[in-house]
Amino acid sequence: MLVLLPPSETKHPGGTGAPLDLGSLSTPQLTPIRARLVDALIELAVDVPAARAVLGLSAAKDDEVARNAALRTSPTLPAIERYTGVLYDALDVASLTRPQRRRAAGRLAIGSALFGVVRAEDPIPAYRLSAGSALPGLPSLRTLWRPVLSPALGATGELVVDLRSGAYADLAPVPEAISVQVLSERPDGTRAVVSHFNKAHKGRLARLLATTTAEPDTVVRLRALLRRAGLHVEHDGGRRLTLVV
Q: Which amino acid is at 4?
A: L
Q: What is the pLDDT of residues 102-144, one digit of tens each?
A: 999 999 999 999 999 999 999 999 999 999 999 999 999 999 9
Query: What is d(CA 61, CA 179) in angstroms, rounded to the nearest whole number?
Result: 34
Average pLDDT over residues 152-170: 94
Q: What is the pLDDT of residues 204-223, one digit of tens each?
A: 999 999 999 999 999 999 99
The answer to whether the CB of 114 falls within 8 A of the CB of 83 is no
pLDDT at residue 27, rounded to an integer: 97
pLDDT at 168 over 80: yes
Average pLDDT over residues 45-64: 97
pLDDT at residue 185, rounded to an integer: 86
pLDDT at residue 102, rounded to an integer: 97
Question: Residue 187: exposed, middle, or buried by beta-carbon count in 10 A (0-12, 13-18, 19+)?
Answer: exposed
Confidence band, pLDDT 50/70/90 cuts, at residue 68: very high
Cα distance between the two ends of the chain:
24
Confidence band, pLDDT 50/70/90 cuts, at residue 187: confident
Average pLDDT over residues 4-9: 96
pLDDT at 53 over 80: yes
Q: What is the mean pLDDT of the chain?
A: 96
Query: What is d(CA 134, CA 18) in angstroms, rounded to the nearest whole number?
Result: 29
pLDDT at 195 over 80: no
Q: What is the pLDDT of residues 39-48, one digit of tens each?
A: 999 999 999 9
Query: What is d(CA 77, CA 212) in angstroms, rounded to the nearest whole number?
Result: 24
pLDDT at 196 over 80: no
Confidence band, pLDDT 50/70/90 cuts, at residue 189: confident
